[in-house]
């Protein structure tokens, strides 16, 4: 009996490893979302990030009433090691193009200009203790000020990421 079982083992293992002959049909919906897309919607103002030719960025929060301002990755690399960040005072009213803070590095110092008009809600307290956060994460954790935007339509006049990257390529 054992010899019969040994004889059938190779045949049985090959049969088990093969796919079933009859195709399996699955019910598929008439419409499918392409891979990598989300099936929920998002506000067009949410996570809207724009840039200036003077290397600042502004990112609107979800409601479109507040925004964070900082310097771009390109500006942070150009400055070198940041040693001090001057943060704005809470309640400060600013116009587009006015300084909202300053960044000092080993190489130089530079004003950070507000891309739009608004009122300062707060400065990034993380930068008071660790100015180098701007070097490691200039367009995320290294934001300089959060403002209440006076007119969200001003943001439309700013550069999108592709247009900003073209201006950087022109500087090289």
Helices and strands, number each (H, E), in the chain = 5, 9
**pLDDT at site 152:** 87
Cα–Cα distance measured from residue 147 to residue 92, given in angstroms and rounded to the nearest whole number: 9
Backbone φ and ψ of 36, nearest 5°: 90, -5
Backbone φ and ψ of 56, nearest 5°: -110, 155
- Residue predicted with more confidence, 34 or 144: 144
User: pLDDT digit string (tens) for 60-113?
Assistant: 998 889 999 999 999 999 999 999 999 999 999 999 999 999 999 998 999 999
pLDDT at 14 exceeding the cut of 70: no
Backbone φ and ψ of 42, nearest 5°: -140, 145
Q: Determine the Cα angle at 69 with ends 37 and 81, to 5°.
A: 105
pLDDT at 25 exceeding the cut of 80: no
- Identify each DSSP E strand in the chain by its residue range: 49-51, 56-60, 66-71, 82-86, 93-94, 99-105, 109-113, 118-123, 145-149
Please state the separation of Cα 26 from the chain's center in Å. Answer: 39
Minimum mean pLDDT among 26-30, 35-39, 148-152: which range?
35-39
For domain 49-171, give the fold.
OB fold (Dihydrolipoamide Acetyltransferase, E2P) (2.40.50)
Q: Where are the domains of the chain?
A: 49-171
Burial 127-137 (b: 16+ CB within 10 A, else e): beeebebbbee
pTM of the model: 0.71
Token pair, residue 83, equals 């040693």
Give the count of beta carbons closer than 10 Å to the beta carbon of residue 56: 21
Mean pLDDT in the chain? 82
Backbone φ and ψ of 152, nearest 5°: -65, -20
């Amino acid at each position: 009996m054992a010899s019969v079982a040994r004889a059938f083992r190779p045949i049985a293992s090959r049969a088990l490893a093969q796919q079933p002959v009859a195709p399996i049909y699955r019910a598929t919906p008439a419409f499918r979302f392409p891979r990598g897309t989300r099936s929920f919607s998002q506000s067009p103002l949410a996570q809207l990030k724009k840039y200036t030719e003077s290397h600042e960025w502004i990112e609107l929060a979800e409601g479109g009433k507040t925004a964070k301002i900082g310097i771009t990755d390109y500006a942070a690399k150009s400055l070198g090691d940041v040693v001090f960040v001057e943060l704005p005072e809470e309640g400060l009213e600013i116009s587009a193009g006015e300084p909202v803070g300053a960044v000092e590095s080993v190489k130089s110092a530079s004003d950070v200009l507000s891309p739009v008009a608004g009122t300062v809600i707060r400065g990034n307290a993380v930068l008071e203790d660790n100015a180098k956060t701007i070097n490691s994460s200039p367009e995320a954790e290294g934001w300089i000020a959060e403002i209440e935007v006076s007119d969200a339509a001003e943001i439309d006049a700013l550069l999108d990421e592709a247009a900003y990257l073209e201006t950087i390529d022109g500087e090289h």
